[in-house]
Amino acid sequence: MFFMKIGLDFDGVIADSHPLKSVIAKQMFGVDIPPDKFFKEYIVEAGLSIDQYKKVKENLYFNDHDISPIKDAPIRISLLLEQGHDIKIITSRTGETLEKAKNLLKKYNLNLPVVGVGYGVSKVPASEGLDVFIDDDIEKLIPLAGVVKHLLLFSSPYKNNKYKDVICVKSWNDIYKYITKI
Ligand SMILES: [Mg+2]
């Protein structure tokens, strides 16, 4: 095995942020949307406007919610670091929301470099030179084809991956197995 340069998204890969959207949408607007249904098409159908969805996300990222880590993420990341892999986080968060992510990382006992690229901004420049990148958003992975060799989509069972350049993983155990076999 050789040492790899690994890039990780933060929300939905390390921090289990998305279930909180359900709670906040219910509290703020009284709308019931299951955590795995937060796609633009579905939420509008369920009765949440795009503007309200924006407010839900602002609440999620700007307030000090105690967000749990994704199951097994801290332990598997620590193991990969111990094995000598080089790991950094590349997130859309910037400014205040980036600082909140750093606080959560401290809580998870993870000491990793973090790059905040900004919402709606490509992760390509920050990902140059990486061997592996893991994101839960397929839209972030597609532009990385040809830039990063191993693209892993951290996905729930509801997501269908039709992209040949992207490997689907469903848990941190899957990720660990994949990386240690490269
Ligand atoms: Mg994400």
Rounded to the nearest angstrom, the distance between the alpha carbon of 40 and the centre of ligand 1 is 15
Q: Please say if the pLDDT value at position 160 is more than 70.
A: no
For residue 137, pLDDT over 80 is answered with: yes
Percentage of the chain exceeding pLDDT 90: 75
Predicted TM-score (pTM) of this structure = 0.89
| CA 38–ligand 1 middle distance (angstroms) | 12
Is 80 in a helix, a strand, or coil? helix
Give 128 or 36, the one with higher predicted confidence: 128
* Residues in contact with 56: Cβ distance below 8 Å, sequence separation at least 6, in sequence order: 21, 24, 25, 28, 29, 48
Kindly state the DSSP code that residue 11 receives in the 8-state scheme.
Answer: B
Amino acid 1: pLDDT: 62
Residue 37: pLDDT band with limits 50, 70, 90: confident
Domains of the chain in sequence order = 5-16+68-181 (3.40.50.1000), 18-62 (no CATH)
> Residue 156 pLDDT > 90, yes or no?
no
Q: What is the mean pLDDT of the chain?
A: 92
User: Exposed/middle/buried for 34, CB within 10 Å: 0-12, 13-18, 19+?
Assistant: exposed
pLDDT, residue 40, reads 73
Q: What pLDDT, in 10s, does the model give residues 93-123?
A: 999 999 999 999 999 999 999 999 998 899 9
pLDDT value for 126 = 98
Q: For residue 11, how far is its CA from the centre of ligand 1 (angstroms)?
A: 4
Q: Separation of 136 CA from ligand 1 center, angstroms?
A: 5
- Give the containing element (helix H, strand E) for 98: helix 95-107
